[in-house]
Homo-oligomer: A and B are copies of this chain.
Amino acid sequence: MRESEIIDLFLRHLKRQGDLPLGDDAGALRFGDKWLVATNDMLVRKTDVPDVMTPEQAGFKAVTMNVSDVAAMGAEPVGFLFSLGVPPGLDADYMEGIARGIGEALNFYGIPVLSADTNEADDLIIDGIALGVTERLLTRSGARPGDLVCVTGDLGRALAGLLVWKHDIEVSEKTKKALYDKFLEPRARVSEGVSLSKVASSAIDISDGLAKELHLIAKMSGVGIEIRPESIPIRDEVAEVAEILGLSPLEIALASGEEFELVFTVSPELVDAMDFKFSVMGQVMEGNGVYLASDEERRPLPRLGWEHLGDQKIYNR
C-alpha cells in the first residue's frame, strides 16, 4: 500500500478529530485559554537512519523532528515521550548511543521525558511524541495576500550533505563539515517558533523540502505565492556540490528535506518586530499556486522533492 492510500483509508474511518483538523504539523486541543499541541513521528532505522549517522545523532534527530513540528505551530515544547522497538540482537553500545542522543536532545531543548515504552521488534524503531503549549496557534492555513514569505536559516545543506555521502563526492573538510552539520545534526527552531506565534500568519517546518512546503501553505491558505529565487538563502557549500553534480543550487535548496527550518508568512508591518535572523523570499498573492518570479519571467515552481534529482530513495523524508 502507498502511504497516500493508507492515509485516505484512515481518514475514512477516523471521524473524530481535535480542535484543529488533521493536516497540520501537529494536532491541537483547547486547554483553558491556551492550546495544547501534540505531534508524533516515527523513525525507522532501515529507512530513516543512513549508515553514516551515529546512534547519538539518530536519537537526537528523533527528538528534533518532533520538536520541530511543535515549533512550527508556534508552541513551546513542554514534554517528550517515546516508544522503542528493539531487535533482539541489537548491540548494547548502539542502544546506549540512542539513549545518550535522546538525553542530549532533551537537555538541548530543555524538555522532560514524560513516558517511555520498550518492545521487541524486527527493526530498530523510535516513535517520538512531543507536546507543546501556545496562546496563539500557527497553522498552515493563515497566509493572507500581501504577507511576506520568509524562512529561518539557510537551505540545501541537508540534501547536499546526503549527496556528498551517497556519491562519495570529494570536498574540503570545511565544506563537508558545513553540510554534515545540517545533514546529520539538524536543530529545531524553537525560540523562533515561539516568537512567530505572536506575529506570523502561517508557518510550517521544512520536512519534505521548501518546494513542497510552499505548495502546502498556498493550498491550505487558498492563496498564491511568489518567490524570488535569488532571495532564497543558499550557502556556498551547497553551490559547490551542485556544480560537481551538474545541478543548480536552487534545485537542491528547493528539494532539500529535513532542514527543520521554519517557513512562515507575516504581514509587512509586523516584520520589523521580529527578533531573530530570517530571509524574506517572496510574497503571498491573491490566486493560487507557487511561482518563481524574476524581473524577466514568472514560472510555476514544481513540487520538487529530492527524489526528482535522480536519486533513489534511501530514506523517507
Residues of A within 8 A of B (CB): 1, 3, 5-7, 9-10, 12-19, 22, 26-29, 31-32, 36, 38-42, 44, 46-48, 78-79, 81-86, 90, 92, 95-96, 99-100, 102-103, 106-107, 110-123, 125, 127, 129, 131, 133, 316
Complex interface: chain B residues within 8 A of A32 (CB):
31-32
Complex interface: chain B residues within 8 A of A40 (CB):
81-83, 115-117, 127, 129
Closest residue on chain B to residue A59 by CB atoms: B13
CB distance A1 to B95 under 8 Å? yes
**The 10 residue pairs across chains A and B that have the minimum distance between CB atoms:** A27-B114, A13-B103, A122-B122, A27-B115, A42-B83, A127-B127, A13-B99, A16-B112, A18-B114, A18-B112
Query: In the bound complex, how far is the Cα of B40 from the Cα of A301, in angstroms?
Result: 40
CB distance B44 to A107 under 8 Å? no
Least CB distance from A56 to B in Å reads 10
CB distance A79 to B27 under 8 Å? yes
CB distance A113 to B27 under 8 Å? yes
CB distance B14 to A103 under 8 Å? yes
Least CB distance from A169 to B in Å reads 27
CB distance B316 to A120 under 8 Å? yes
Closest residue on chain B to residue A42 by CB atoms: B83
Known: A22-B115, A44-B121, A113-B14. A95 touches B38 (CB 8 A): no
Which of B12, B27, B42 contacts A127 (CB under 8 A)?
Answer: B42
Least CB distance from A136 to B in Å reads 17
Complex interface: chain B residues within 8 A of A123 (CB):
85, 121-123
Which of B5, B13, B82, B114 contacts A29 (CB under 8 A)?
Answer: B114
Query: In the bound complex, how far is the Cα of B106 from the Cα of A127, in angstroms?
Result: 21
Query: In the bound complex, how far is the Cα of B111 from the Cα of A116, in angstroms?
Result: 22
Which of B13, B19, B29, B112 contacts A102 (CB under 8 A)?
Answer: B13
Least CB distance from A176 to B in Å reads 29
CB distance B22 to A116 under 8 Å? yes
Complex interface: chain B residues within 8 A of A13 (CB):
96, 99-100, 102-103
Query: In the bound complex, how far is the Cα of B15 from the Cα of A107, in angstroms?
Result: 8
CB distance B15 to A92 under 8 Å? no
Complex interface: chain B residues within 8 A of A12 (CB):
99
Query: In the bound complex, how far is the Cα of B69 from the Cα of A114, in angstroms?
Result: 13
CB distance B121 to A1 under 8 Å? no
Least CB distance from A74 to B in Å reads 16
Which of B38, B79, B106, B119 contacts A14 (CB under 8 A)?
Answer: B106
Query: In the bound complex, how far is the Cα of B63 from the Cα of A16, in angstroms?
Result: 14
Query: In the bound complex, how far is the Cα of B92 from the Cα of A131, in angstroms?
Result: 32
